[in-house]
Amino acid sequence: MKRLVYSALLSLALVFALLPVGAASATGSIGINVLLKSDVSSNFLSELAKHGTVLTVLDEIDALTMRVKAAKVSTIKALPFVAAVSTDAVRNGAPVDTVLADDFSDGISTWDQDAVNVTEFGSTTRQVAFDGTGVYVAVLDTGLVDAWRQYFPEERIAEEYAISFSGGGGEVGTVSSQKNKWEHDQNSHGTHVTSSILGYSLGGTSINGVAPMATIIPVKVLNQNGSGWSSVIAQGITYVADLKKGPLANYPVVINMSLGGSRLDVVEKAAIDYAIEAGVIIVASAGNEGETGMGYPGAYEPVISVAASGWVGEWVGPRNWWLASNVADPTNIEDFYITDFSSRELAGQDLDVAAPGSWIVGPYQNNSGQTSFYFLGGTSMASPHVAGIVALMVQKNSSLTATEVETILEGSAIPLPAGTRTITNPDGSSSSVSWGDDASGWGLTTADGALAATPLE
């Protein structure tokens, strides 16, 4: 998700995420996602073909996508074998150089890693005993930029499982996959998200990550503009679930989705349920719509949703404050706030925890092949911090279910009740930010707190 608000300070920029608004097809036809009551059969497909064009079939979740005239939707809904129908929903969110280090677990601390107590200011020694070893984290996003090997150790990216999905009912209709498009992203969103989990190389200096020894599976489900469709998201989720049921059956698998839209699609919901049943744990951003409410799939209860918190030490002190300033220990909740853009919880929505999502530095490229680093802000940046913490938790106890992980995160979070903070802006001015009890879920999550509450396997 991106709302673009640039700052030239430190030759870096801030990027906030916005979701594009869905649009109907110019031809008068629309893309729909259809959930069936039982297995897909040739009889069902023949009957549906009378009312439109069947595009992509997802056998694992008894679902399919179609292109139909809008007037046909009610007819399709009334078919006895159809469980639900929804229009396809909008979702937003190579050089050969390699990073010489195997991991960044001995990298320097940045404010956001300090805030979740993974690292400590002035030290390269991690503050937690786990690093994500043996855990796969699928990042469903825009993929990685061409120059990803200049940011991340090649060993940490599961190239054998990386994939790209595109299309969707809002575009050409059919969801297709491309093996190598995942590493030719022109957007950079997925690269920045990945950097919070793994850490990254900043001109040869190692920056620590929440789970630097986790293995990332890039799954490109958003296009080069950072947007996409729920049918494509569902395909990506199903793909990861099948990996968990197949070659990754003996490994913990986490999904991070720094993306969302205004409503939960029926097929996307079925894919989430299928993945969780397979043992996958799903983390997603809450959205950047403030009082308008949370986005989906983050607001769906089985998904661990993340609001964006900030630190009152931002832009205070030296110009490189983000790695040269100390987040005080023990954690003082008065040092933190909920950003104004972070989506608030409405009735029927489920907001779980908050994590750093304001002024997060990481790789972000404006020019293909040219390395650069930017401040990004959004719940898109908060979500991977929690996905990384989840990776640490399931490294400690690989038997944890999604429900158990969510319960531990909520129970160990530091409550961040309604309040007001005075913060410093990039230009040195001050402003006031306020939030209510609907903005922070169970509170600020920390790696040490979550791990202390995680039982040994």
The pLDDT of residue 8: 26
Beta bridge partners of residue 389, listed in sequence order: none
Residue 456 has, within 13 A of its CA and on its CB side, a CA count of 1
Q: Please check whether residue 429 lies inside any domain of the structure.
A: yes
Characterize 247-259 residue by residue with b for buried, 16 or more Cβ atoms within 10 angstroms of its Cβ, and e for exposed: ebeeebbbbbbbb
Report the distance separating Cα 65 and Cα 117, nearest Å.
44
Q: Please check whether residue 78 lies inside any domain of the structure.
A: yes
Q: Please check whether residue 425 lies inside any domain of the structure.
A: yes
Do 337 and 295 share a structural domain? yes
Do 61 and 34 share a structural domain? yes
Do 331 and 207 share a structural domain? yes
DSSP 63: E
Domain range holding 357? 2-21+92-452
- Whether the pLDDT of residue 78 is over 60: the answer is yes
Report the distance separating Cα 374 and Cα 366, nearest Å.
10
123-171, pLDDT tens digit by residue? 888 999 999 999 999 999 999 999 999 999 999 999 999 999 988 755 5
Q: Please check whether residue 457 lies inside any domain of the structure.
A: no
Report the distance separating Cα 259 and Cα 17, nearest Å.
9
Provide the CATH number for the domain around residue 73: 3.30.70.80
Single pTM value for the model: 0.89
Do 74 and 118 share a structural domain? no
Provide the CATH number for the domain around residue 258: 3.40.50.200
The pLDDT of residue 90: 87
- pLDDT band, residue 450 (cuts 50/70/90): very high
Q: Please check whether residue 405 lies inside any domain of the structure.
A: yes
Domain boundary among 49, 71, 88: 88
Do 101 and 38 share a structural domain? no
Q: Please check whether residue 384 lies inside any domain of the structure.
A: yes
- Domains identified in the chain, total number: 2
The pLDDT of residue 370: 79
Nearest Cα neighbor of 235 from 303, 179, 299, 164 is 164
Can you list the alpha helix ranges (DSSP code H) found in 176-265? 189-198, 230-245
Do 368 and 290 share a structural domain? yes
Do 153 and 48 share a structural domain? no
The mean pLDDT of 304-323, rounded to a whole number, is 95
Do 44 and 140 share a structural domain? no
The overall average pLDDT reported for the chain is: 90
Cα dihedral: 170, 348, 308, 273 (round 10): -60
Do 119 and 79 share a structural domain? no
β-strand 205-207 against 63-69: which pairing, if any? unpaired
Residue 299: how many CB atoms within 10 A of its CB?
24
181-240, pLDDT tens digit by residue? 999 999 999 999 999 999 999 988 999 999 999 999 999 999 888 888 999 999 999 999
400-426, pLDDT tens digit by residue? 999 999 999 999 999 999 999 999 999
DSSP 404: H
Structure tokens at 167: 């299309």
Structure tokens at 115: 């805030």
Do 96 and 75 share a structural domain? no
Do 261 and 137 share a structural domain? yes
Report the distance separating Cα 275 and Cα 253, nearest Å.
10
Q: Please check whether residue 246 lies inside any domain of the structure.
A: yes
